[in-house]
Structures are given as structure tokens and as C-alpha cells.
Amino acid sequence: MAKNIKRGLLRVWVLLAILWIGGMGWYQYNEAKKPAKDSITIAISKDSQFRIDENGISKINEEDNASLQIQQISIVFLPPFLLLALFPIGAWLARGFKS
């Protein structure tokens, strides 16, 4: 019985993880295509881009893009793995209540 519950919970996690990654991946993809609100991006050359917003003119560099991509990837992949890590903790808690 316990093996069936573990297998069933793993299958539920796989389903939820696929739905989360697919949905958030699609959302992040669509958000990346949208221009930033209240700002204009000007590309002078392939390596030189500037952003004009309420704070003035600022240069966009590769570090900004890389940190944004890392943040987006962590939003997509971190929650399913945290949920997977909670399963053993939940099993440990459930065993503590058995007499």
C-alpha cells in the first residue's frame, strides 16, 4: 500500500511539474517578447543598446541580460524541485504521527 501511495504521489508531482514548467515557460517566453513598459530600447550596434525610461538613459549590458535570464530560469524550475524536496519531509512528519 505504501509503495502505491509513493508511486502515485510521484506521478502527481511529475504531472504538476510538467504543467508548471510548460505554463511558466510559455509565460516567460511571451513576457520576453514584450517591450518594457514606459521605456524605449535603442540598439546603436549589435553590442551597444541603450534604454530610455523615467530615470534617464542607461546602457544595457550582457550582465543585465544574463542575470534576468537566470532569474527567469529559477522561477520556472525551482518550485517543482522544492515541491519534490517536501515529499520526504511530509513522509517523515506522517511517520511521526503513527502509534
| Residue 40 binned pLDDT confidence (cut-offs 50, 70, 90) | low
Q: Which residues contact 74 (CB under 8 A, 6 or more apart)?
A: none
Q: Where are the beta strands (DSSP E) in 1-99?
A: 40-43, 49-53, 56-60
On average, the pLDDT of the chain sits at 79
Contacts of 88 (CB under 8 A, 6+ apart): none
Q: 79: Cβ–Cβ under 8 A, 6 or more apart, which residues? A: 20
pLDDT tens, position by position, 52-64:
666 666 666 666 6
Residue 81 pLDDT class (50, 70, 90 cuts): very high
pLDDT at residue 16 tops 90: yes
pLDDT for res 14: 93
Placement of cell 553590442 in the chain: 47
pTM over 0.75: no
Single out the residue of 85, 80, 99 nearest to residue 24, CA to CA. 80
CA nearest to 39, candidates 31, 50, 28: 50
Looking up cell 502505491 gives 4
